[in-house]
């Protein structure tokens, strides 16, 4: 599709419906606002009702908030139904809710925390695909972006559950892309490096309770661009991958990490 020759607006989501899990805060919030800014109607999904409702209110009548815990299949079916009832379709799905868990070496890692991280990051992402893909298959169109991480590509000491969960997200992305590709439905993963959200602040506090700011300074020195990314910079990649500009891109994983994994 040569959208330039057709004179279309670039990355215009007018008439499209986007569902964003973890849409109340951080990256998902920036993606929700980004979709709305570019004309989409947006379903903000999160277990955090206060922040989620605030994002929907900020967008206005083009958005609804739906409270859900992505680890519960009933809740996942609930947000799919809410999207269809409110807006009649799901064109773009950002499968993004995630948690970091604790920072501790594998030899000391808490079993219950491992299960909790896998429940949100792996089962939650699976359930999203499980219940959104049938909608897209019926529609014969759609684009999915799963939020993995650079922790889905390389290991990082002290985060065995998180790293395992994000490698799993990349695996599920490849499987789903192969399954629904023949219908023209695309499924990709994004791999953000450190992004300035609550999540990295929590990790910094766990690594260095007395000097969390020092953690950012140390980590940023390892990044070619010498800084953490912003949620908006991640949103730009998500919107691109959901747009017609990415019409030949599926089953792929894209880093947005300031060069961290390259250097």
> How many residues line the site for ligand NAD (CB under 6 A)?
28
Q: Least distance in Å: CB of 105 to ligand NAD?
A: 20
Stretch that binds ligand NAD, among 4-12, 76-84, 94-102, 218-226 (CB under 6 A): 94-102
Distance CA 187, CA 251 (A): 6
Q: Which of 79, 162, 228, 254 is catalytic?
A: 162
**Which of residues 17, 55, 120, 176 is near ligand NAD by CB under 6 A?**
120
What is the CB-side half-sphere exposure of residue 8 using CA atoms within 13 A?
13
98 is an interface residue for ligand NAD by CB under 6 A: yes
Instruction: Give rounded-to-5 percent helix, strand, coil for the chain.
Output: 50, 15, 35
Nearest-CA neighbor of 70 among 101, 35, 95? 95
**Which of residues 70, 161, 172, 241 is near ligand NAD by CB under 6 A?**
70
Q: Least distance in Å: CB of 163 to ligand NAD?
A: 11
195 is an interface residue for ligand NAD by CB under 6 A: yes
Distance CA 10, CA 15 (A): 14
**Which of residues 41, 47, 94, 260 is near ligand NAD by CB under 6 A?**
47
Nearest-CA neighbor of 76 among 132, 145, 143? 132
Q: Least distance in Å: CB of 151 to ligand NAD?
A: 7
Near ligand NAD in 14-43, by CB under 6 A = 22, 24-28
Those residues whose C-beta lies under 8 Å from the C-beta of residue 193, and which sit 6 or more positions away, are 150, 223, 228, 229, 255, 256, 257, 258, 260, 261
Beta strands in the chain (DSSP E): 17-21, 41-46, 63-67, 92-95, 143-147, 186-192, 253-256
CB closer to ligand NAD out of 48 and 179: 48
State yes or no: is 162 an active-site residue: yes
Contact (CB, 8 A) for 98 and 46: no
Near ligand NAD in 125-154, by CB under 6 A = 147, 149
Catalytic machinery residues: 162
Residues making contact with ligand NAD (CB under 6 A): 22, 24-28, 46-48, 68-71, 96-99, 120, 124, 147, 149, 192, 194-195, 197-200
């Amino acid at each position: 599709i040569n959208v330039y020759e057709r004179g279309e607006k670039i990355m215009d989501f007018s008439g499209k419906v986007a569902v964003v899990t973890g849409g109340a805060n951080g990256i998902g919030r920036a993606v929700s606002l980004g979709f709305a800014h570019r004309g989409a109607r947006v379903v903000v999904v999160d277990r955090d009702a206060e922040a989620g409702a605030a994002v929907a209110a900020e967008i206005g009548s083009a958005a609804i908030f739906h409270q859900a815990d992505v680890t519960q299949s009933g809740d996942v079916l609930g947000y799919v139904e809410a999207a269809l009832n409110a807006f009649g379709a799901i064109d773009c799905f950002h499968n993004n809710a995630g948690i970091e868990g604790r920072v501790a070496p594998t030899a000391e890692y808490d079993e219950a925390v491992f299960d909790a991280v896998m429940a949100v990051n792996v089962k939650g992402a699976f359930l999203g695909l499980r219940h959104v893909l049938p909608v897209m298959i019926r529609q014969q169109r759609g684009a999915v972006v799963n939020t993995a991480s650079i922790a889905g590509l390389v290991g990082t000491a002290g985060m065995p559950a998180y790293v395992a969960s994000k490698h799993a997200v990349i695996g599920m992305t490849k499987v789903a892309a192969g399954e629904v590709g023949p219908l023209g439905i695309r499924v990709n993963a994004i791999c953000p490096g450190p992004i300035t959200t609550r999540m990295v602040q929590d990790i910094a506090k766990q690594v260095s309770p007395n000097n969390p700011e020092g953690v950012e300074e140390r980590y940023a020195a390892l990044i070619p661009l010498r800084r953490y990314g912003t949620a908006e910079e991640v949103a730009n990649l998500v919107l691109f991958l959901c747009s017609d500009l990415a019409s030949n891109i599926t089953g792929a994983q894209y880093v947005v990490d300031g060069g961290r994994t390259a250097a």
